[in-house]
Amino acid sequence: MLPDPEQSPLFANDDPDSCLVRTEAFEGPLDLLLHLIKKNEVDIYNIPIAAISRQYLDYLDLMRELNLDVAGEFLVMASTLIQIKSQMLLPLTPDPESEEDQTLDPRAELVRRLLEYERYREASTLLASREILDRDVFARKFIPAELDTAAPDDALPEIDLFELVDAFRRILAKAPKDSFHEVGSENISIADRIADILAYLEEKETVDFEELFIGTNTREFIVASFLAVLELCKLRMIRLTQFENYGRILVNSTVIKDAA
């Protein structure tokens, strides 16, 4: 016999001393909802929304009473629950997309999310139960003496992209303050364009200004190209010449060819 979910209290508490639980045991609203569904022993496909939302809100109240921060995500879910609850009070709307006599259950999306979440939670326990390196099994993760003395190689090292950004982040954190400026994606595409333009000029020496803008005609691309040209002028790596008013503008490379 399933207990009547409408009657089942959330905090049924026979032994108040033995019932400490960490709020973090609920990783988020989905976790809390799953807990309530299990606790009430209700069918996940047929959640008694009124009872579950009441218990959910009780829990949030309890957190507030204890002066705990209720994370925004919990509040978003609370409003979702209330919305579903009010939709459930309306007569079910027939699904116009469906030929069959089907109706849209307002709970459907939430149920799908819960099931998927439950699936990943299950996956996480499977991961935790594996033989974890440095917990259950151990390998030699050091360069042994016999390799240490061998000659180093010239192969390209392996780096992770994140390591690169993180290195830059650390540099900026300790670099003199006045050198700080935001590196946004725009800045990077300018650098990109600078590299392209210089490569282009390496082959052609002199080109038509407009030639530099051939490519994708997105606004972003044009702006980046233009700023790249300005930056290169500033660095005096290119020179712009115009023969007459409103005439063609020619771009020259001034880069001193030099064997590095």
Partner 1 sequence: MADVSLKQIIESVLFVSDSPLSLDRLCSILEEFEREEIRAAIDAITADCTSNQRGIELILVAGGYQFRSRPELGDYIRRLKRAKPARFSPSSLETLAIIAYRQPVTRAEIEYLRGVDSGGILKSLLDKKLIRIIGKKDIPGKPLIYGTTKEFMETFSLKDLASLPTLREIEELADSGDDTDQVLLPLDGVE
Which residues inside 82-121 make contact with partner 1, applying CB under 8 A? 95, 97-98, 100, 102, 104-105, 108-109, 111-113, 115-117, 119-121
Query: Binding partner 1 by CB under 8 A: which of 1, 89, 90, 161?
Result: 161
Is the Cβ of residue 13 or residue 86 nearer to partner 1 in the bound state? Answer: 13
CA distance linking residue 40 with residue 116, whole number of Å? 20
Query: Binding partner 1 by CB under 8 A: which of 50, 57, 60, 62?
Result: 62
- Residue 212 to residues 9, 195, 226, Cα–Cα distance (Å): 71, 12, 9
Per-residue binder mask for partner 1 (CB under 8 A), 11-50, x = binder: xxx--x-xxxxxxxx-xxxxx---x---x-----x-----
HSE value, Cβ hemisphere, 13 Å, CA-based, for 190: 13
Interface with partner 1 in residues 218-237 (CB under 8 A): 231, 235-237
- Residue 228 to residues 190, 197, 254, Cα–Cα distance (Å): 5, 8, 15
- From edge to edge, which strands make up the β-sheet containing 206-208? 206-208, 249-253, 238-242
CA distance linking residue 205 with residue 2, whole number of Å? 83
DSSP state letter for 14? S
Query: Binding partner 1 by CB under 8 A: which of 78, 88, 191, 227?
Result: 191
Interface with partner 1 in residues 193-212 (CB under 8 A): 194-195, 198
Query: Binding partner 1 by CB under 8 A: which of 79, 89, 159, 177?
Result: 159
Interface with partner 1 in residues 167-186 (CB under 8 A): 167-172, 174-176, 179, 182-185
Could you give phi then psi for residue 239, rounded to 5 degrees?
-130, 140
